Structure 1
Amino acid sequence: MNTTPKVLLVDDEEQVLKANRQWLELSGFSVICCNTAKAAINELQQGFIGIVISDVKMPGMDGFALLEQAKTINADLPIILITGHGDVSMAVEALHKGAYDFIEKPFDPDRLKERIQRAQEQLQLKIKNQQLRQQLAEQSGISAKLIGESKAIQQVHDEILALANLDTPVLIYGETGCGKELVAQCLHEYSQRANKPFVALNCGAIPEALFESELFGHEAGAFSGAQKLRKGKLEHADGGVVFLDEIESMPLHLQVKLLRALQSGEIERLGSNRLINLDIRVISATKINLKDAGDFRQDLYYRLNVSEIFLPPLRERTVDISLLFTYFAQLAAEQYQQPVRVLAPSDADVLTHYAWPGNIRELKNVATRFILTKEKAVVDLIHSPSEKELVTEPERVSTGLLSLSLQLNQYERQLIHNALIQHKGNISQVMIELDLPRRTLNQKMQKYGLNRLDYLNK
Structure 2
Amino acid sequence: MKRDPVIYLVDDDTDFREATAELLESEGFATRAFDGGARMLDIIDPEWNGLVLCDVRMQSMDGFGVLKDMRARAPKVPFVMMTGHGDVRMAISAIRGGAYDFLEKPVQPDFLLGVVRRALNARKLAIENTRLRRRVARFGDLRSRLVGTSPVMKDCRKQLLDLAPLPITVLLHGEAGTGKEVTARAIHDFSEVSGDLHTINCANLSEAELRQDLTAASPDDTVYFRALHRLGTEAQSIVAEFLRQSTRARTIASLTGDPSKCHDAGQISDELYYLVTVAPIRLPPLRERDKDMFVLLEMFLRDAAARFKKPLPMVTKEALKPFRTYPWPGNLRELRGVAERMVLGLPLGLDRNTATATGQAESYDASMLAHERAILERALMESGGQKGDAAAILGIPRKRLYLRMKATGLLE
Structure 1, residues 251-291: CA drift from partner, whole Å, max 9, x if none? 101111221222123xxxxxxxxxxxx63522111123333
Find out whether 1:370 has 2:342 as its counterpart. Answer: yes
What are the equivalent positions in structure 2 for 1:242-321 lying under 5 Å apart?
242-265=223-246, 279=248, 281-288=250-257, 289=259, 290-321=262-293
Quick one: distance in 1 between partners of 2:357 and 2:302? 28
Quick one: distance in 2 between partners of 1:234 and 1:175? 30
Question: 3-state DSSP class of the match of 1:152?
Answer: helix
Quick one: distance in 2 between partners of 1:141 and 1:407? 45
Q: Equivalent residue for 1:182?
A: 182
Structure 1, residues 15-57: CA drift from partner, whole Å, max 9, x if none? xxxxxxxxxxxxxxxxxxxxxxxxxxxxxxxxxxxxxxxxxxx
The structure 1 segments of at least 4 consecutive aligned residues displaced by more than 3 Å after TM superposition are: 397-402, 404-408
**Partner amino acid, structure 1, of 2:208:** S
Residues 201 and 227, structure 2, Cα contact 8 Å, conserved in 1: yes
What are the equivalent positions in structure 2 for 1:385-400 lying under 5 Å apart?
398-399=352-353
Picking from 209, 232, 250, the partner of 1:214 is 209
Residues 169 and 281, structure 1, Cα contact 8 Å, conserved in 2: yes
Quick one: distance in 2 between partners of 1:371 and 1:164? 36
**Partner amino acid, structure 2, of 1:320:** D
What are the equivalent positions in structure 2 for 1:33-112 lying under 5 Å apart?
none
Q: Equivalent residue for 1:80?
A: none
Structure 1, residues 90-142: CA drift from partner, whole Å, max 9, x if none? xxxxxxxxxxxxxxxxxxxxxxxxxxxxxxxxxxxxxxxxxxxxxxxxx9410
Tell me how far 1:402 sits from its aligned partner.
5.2
Question: 3-state DSSP class of the match of 1:141?
Answer: helix
What are the equivalent positions in structure 2 for 1:162-241 lying under 5 Å apart?
162-193=162-193, 195-204=194-203, 207-208=204-205, 211-217=206-212, 232-233=213-214, 235-241=216-222
Quick one: distance in 2 between partners of 1:236 and 1:306? 23
Question: 3-state DSSP class of the match of 2:291?
Answer: helix
Residues 177 and 360, structure 1, Cα contact 8 Å, conserved in 2: yes
Quick one: distance in 2 between partners of 1:188 and 1:345? 39
**% identity of equivalent residues:** 28
**Residues 399, 159 of structure 1: CA spacing in aligned structure 2 closer, same or farther, 3 A cutoff?**
closer
Picking from 343, 358, 372, the partner of 1:404 is 358
Tell me how far 1:404 sits from its aligned partner.
3.2
Structure 1, residues 364-404: CA drift from partner, whole Å, max 9, x if none? 0000000011xx6xxx4125xxxxxxxxxxxxx73466533
What TM-score does the superposition give when structure 1 sets the normalisation length? Answer: 0.45
Picking from 293, 318, 323, the partner of 1:346 is 318
Tell me how far 1:249 sits from its aligned partner.
0.7
Residues 171 and 284, structure 1, Cα contact 8 Å, conserved in 2: yes
**Residues 159, 347 of structure 1: CA spacing in aligned structure 2 closer, same or farther, 3 A cutoff?**
same
Unaligned segments of structure 1, at least 5 residues: 1-138, 218-231, 266-277, 384-396, 409-458
Question: 3-state DSSP class of the match of 1:341?
Answer: coil
Quick one: distance in 1 between partners of 2:355 and 2:283? 21
Tell me how far 1:214 sits from its aligned partner.
2.8
Structure 1, residues 292-314: CA drift from partner, whole Å, max 9, x if none? 23242111111111101011100
Quick one: distance in 1 between partners of 2:281 and 2:176? 15
**Residues 310, 399 of structure 1: CA spacing in aligned structure 2 closer, same or farther, 3 A cutoff?**
closer
Question: 3-state DSSP class of the match of 1:201?
Answer: strand
Aligned length: 221
**Partner amino acid, structure 2, of 1:305:** T
**Partner amino acid, structure 2, of 1:155:** D
Residues 170 and 308, structure 1, Cα contact 8 Å, conserved in 2: yes
**Residues 185, 406 of structure 1: CA spacing in aligned structure 2 closer, same or farther, 3 A cutoff?**
farther
**Partner amino acid, structure 1, of 2:164:** A
Residues 184 and 283, structure 1, Cα contact 8 Å, conserved in 2: yes
RMSD: 2.4
Residues 327 and 354, structure 2, Cα contact 8 Å, conserved in 1: no
Question: 3-state DSSP class of the match of 1:284?
Answer: strand
**Residues 401, 163 of structure 1: CA spacing in aligned structure 2 closer, same or farther, 3 A cutoff?**
farther
Tell me how far 1:405 sits from its aligned partner.
7.6
**Residues 405, 199 of structure 1: CA spacing in aligned structure 2 closer, same or farther, 3 A cutoff?**
same
Quick one: distance in 1 between partners of 2:292 and 2:353? 24
Residues 350 and 406, structure 1, Cα contact 8 Å, conserved in 2: no
Quick one: distance in 1 between partners of 2:223 and 2:355? 35
Tell me how far 1:318 sits from its aligned partner.
2.6
Quick one: distance in 2 between partners of 1:366 and 1:402? 19
Quick one: distance in 2 between partners of 1:293 and 1:369? 37
Quick one: distance in 1 between partners of 2:358 and 2:303? 32
Quick one: distance in 2 between partners of 1:216 and 1:294? 23
Tell me how far 1:344 sits from its aligned partner.
1.7
Tell me how far 1:354 sits from its aligned partner.
1.3
Residues 168 and 249, structure 2, Cα contact 8 Å, conserved in 1: no
Residues 242 and 280, structure 1, Cα contact 8 Å, conserved in 2: no
Structure 1, residues 127-171: CA drift from partner, whole Å, max 9, x if none? xxxxxxxxxxxx941011111111111111100000000120011
Residues 328 and 364, structure 1, Cα contact 8 Å, conserved in 2: yes
Picking from 309, 317, 323, the partner of 1:337 is 309
